[in-house]
Amino acid sequence: MTFLILELVKFISFWFLAFLLGNWVYKYKIKVNYTRKIHHFFLLFFPIFLASCFPYRPGELLGLLGAFGFLWTLAPFYFRKNSDFLERCFLSFDRPEDRPYTLLWLLSQFFASIIIVISLAILVEIYFGIFWADIGLLVVCLAMIGDGLAEPIGVRFGKFRYKTYALFTKKQFFRTLEGSLTVFLSTIGVLFWFGDLFTERQFIYAVGLLPLIIMITEAVSPHTWDGPFLIGVSGILVGFILMYF
């Protein structure tokens, strides 16, 4: 598959998903807390997944640039007032409590997250010979699956709340201990899923260190900007384990 075909697949997939989830929010009153997490995971996971399955070796730079496709995918939302279609799609990740910073937080955290995960993945490929997209998938899944499940589980089942903060505002937000425990358990599940990337000794250290540290990172990271922190900590820990164990 060529670079342009891959980009077209990502573009169509995103807008199909955005419109589908936006309709869920509009017609069926599905909580935005749920739909936005699907978006977040998709935007980070899907481009790297395609790069892993269909590595575009003739032009590695194009493959890396493709990881930043979310920029031109999300940019049209700044003109949503002129389009009913864009308005409907925007409903899928526009939490009322995030306004008026929804797009600012979304674009800035995804840009920072992609910079971090790609940089770490390339370094791992250079030093350990693991294809950058494969290690990128591991880091994204470590950072995003637990975080993606934590919010809906916290909203639905959370009883024990604690305060958190956000960038660009003094408004207080809340997370739950139930959500944090979800991050812990999900991290263990992801490590078993990607266990073949580690030696037996490395895997033992990964299971011993990553779930607790990633859970704490998610708990103390800024509201709606936890992605870069989770990806950074996950990537650094994975690199540390590969290097020293």
Q: Render pLDDT for 132-169 as a digit per residue (tens, 0 to 9).
A: 788 989 999 999 898 888 888 888 888 899 888 877 77
Render pLDDT for 205-232 as a digit per residue (tens, 0 to 9).
999 999 999 999 999 988 878 888 999 9
Specify the DSSP class assigned to residue 160: S
Residues 2, 9: Cα–Cα separation, whole Å: 11
pLDDT for 84 beyond 80:
yes
Q: Residue range 99-115: average pLDDT?
A: 84
Contact 80, 86 (CB under 8 A): yes
Helices (H) and strands (E) in the chain, counts: 10, 2
Average pLDDT, the chain: 85
Under 8 Å CB-to-CB from 10, ≥6 apart: which residues?
A: 46, 47, 50, 66, 69, 73
In this prediction, residue 73 has a pLDDT band, given cuts at 50, 70 and 90, of confident
In this prediction, residue 70 has a pLDDT band, given cuts at 50, 70 and 90, of low
In this prediction, residue 57 has a pLDDT band, given cuts at 50, 70 and 90, of low
Residues 88, 23: Cα–Cα separation, whole Å: 7
- pLDDT at residue 65, rounded to an integer: 61
DSSP bridge partners of 173 = 164
- pLDDT at residue 101, rounded to an integer: 85
